[in-house]
Amino acid sequence: GVSVAIENVTKIYELRDGSDLLALDRVDLAIAPGAFVAIVGPSGCGKSTLLSLVAGLAPVSTGKILIDGEEVKRPHEKVGVVFQTDLLLYWRTVMDNIMLPVEIKGWRRQDYLPKAERLLEQVGLAGFAGKYPSELSGGMRQRVAICRALVQEPGLLLMDEPFGALDALTREQMIADLQAMWLSVGNTVLFITHSIEEAVFLADRVLVMSPRPGRIDLDRTIDIERPRS
Ligand code: ADP
Ligand code: ADP
């Protein structure tokens, strides 16, 4: 995994009526390589904003974000992202969806096919490579989105409420199934959720964001010790 340093980051949105909205206020956070960090907080506290800045999808207003010491200015090679909705292309098969990042990067598809097949197997979708998204359930599609993020072997996996759109049972099942997988991948993970249960179950470190303006509440950070294989 890679290291992430968020240094004194502020994000201000300019609203259409001309006013400013302070979404993140001087956020500081250092994430060690291989750490699994969860950020929890109520809706609107700035979680998605923080993730989009780390992903290089939007610029910081002030401060700096570094991935392995390199300032983030645009989407980074080493980063994979999973959003709340799966964002699969419905006209492409499962395998062709998983191969998108590989194609975009201009890598050779055949070099990544075995990896993609292994990932599908790990998420319980062996044999689904040739299916189309419309043939899968919401939970299955989200698993495919996770495979797509992981096929490029990202040093950093960013997840924004990846289970948010799923019903409670599917959600629980998926978290249980995927936990072992996260632990074996070895990449750094930044995971955003409004569920404290999910955060505590999956992460090594849980950070709480307080809203208006979004700040990480350091007094409420907890480190969770868990056995690692
Ligand atoms: P969370 O992910 O914790 O729900 P967000 O990062 O989505 O929080 O939002 C933080 C604040 O910034 C909210 O007040 C939201 O309305 C505002 N916001 C988010 N994205 C934008 C945007 N693109 N333009 C303007 N305001 C935004
Ligand atoms: P979440 O709570 O899951 O972050 P939101 O409903 O807050 O979801 O935001 C959904 C999308 O809308 C995000 O991409 C966010 O950046 C954008 N957004 C949120 N608030 C605003 C806003 N006030 N103006 C423009 N875009 C916004």
- Interface predicted TM-score (ipTM): 0.71
Which are the contacts of 11, defined by CB distance < 8 A and separation ≥ 6?
22, 23, 24, 46, 49, 50, 53, 58, 60, 61, 214
The pLDDT of residue 8 is above 70: yes
Pocket of ligand 1 contains residue 49 by CB under 6 Å: yes
Residue nearest (by alpha carbon) to ligand 1 atom 24? 13
> How does residue 191 score in pLDDT terms, banded at 50, 70 and 90?
very high
Pocket of ligand 2 contains residue 48 by CB under 6 Å: yes
Task: Give me the pLDDT at residue 86, please.
Answer: 83
Task: Give me the pLDDT at residue 229, please.
Answer: 52
What is the pTM for the complete model shown?
0.85
DSSP 194: S
The pLDDT of residue 162 is above 90: no
> How does residue 111 score in pLDDT terms, banded at 50, 70 and 90?
very high
Indicate the top mutation candidate among 49, 83, 193, 196 to test ligand 1's pocket, ranked by most ligand atoms within 8 A of CB: 49
CA distances from 49 to 53, 99, 131, 229 (A): 6, 27, 34, 33
Angle at 38 between CA 133 and CA 154, to 5 degrees: 55
